Structure 1
Amino acid sequence: MIYHIVPLAAWNADPDRPYAPASLAEDGFVHCSPDEEITLVIVNDFYRDAPRPLLALLIDEDRLISECVFEAAVPGPPPGVPEGTLFPHVYGPVDRDAVERVLEVRWDEEGWATGLAEV
């Protein structure tokens, strides 16, 4: 399983089509994380001010039609992510059938992501 963070409104925006976030057009791929621990680091580094609720899509990369490649972050990993961590990049839209679970990011009183929970 790989993880992708998305605001609920963006995930629900066009439910009859494969999911294609802005990063696909901007960067050429959909940014994902390899596990829950790194996903929470990414949420705290980049998504603390994102619209909520914030979801984590758990994607079975073997069920994707688009290619998924594990690559190093360029220019380097974000703060709190170990050197050498490879990130899954999906080079095309995410097939909704490949999404096995949808979890919601949980926050503490200070606005830090602390975990993922069933929706």
Structure 2
Amino acid sequence: MAGHRIFSTPFAKVYPLYIRKAEAKGRTKDEVDRIIHWLTGYDAAGLQQQLDRAADFETFFAQAPALNPNLALIKGVVCGIRVEEIEDPLMQKLRYLDKLIDELAKGKAMEKILRQPA
């Protein structure tokens, strides 16, 4: 069975949309990057390498250095679906990222977005 078409979409194609969404609400590219670093374990150089390679989402998450152990703390609805109930592991990771970017755009504090004590 083939995966969802978003899996083969280059991360570099969606990344600017994350930034645009955040900046439209007064947030920054650095905050978007910090969320991605927290979620995936990529450092700035690793993230840039994935962008330069135009890695698709499947590769982007498969090569992530270390997914954050607090992923299970991400709860809520994205596109009408509860992220904690998504069965496909790759789609769940993708939706976790979407959820965190949504929280950023809604003005939530970074400590809360990154599931850290205030």
TM-score range, shorter chain: under 0.3
Q: TM-score, normalised by structure 1?
A: 0.25
**If the length of structure 2 is used for normalisation, what is the TM-score?**
0.26
Name the structure with the higher helix share: 2
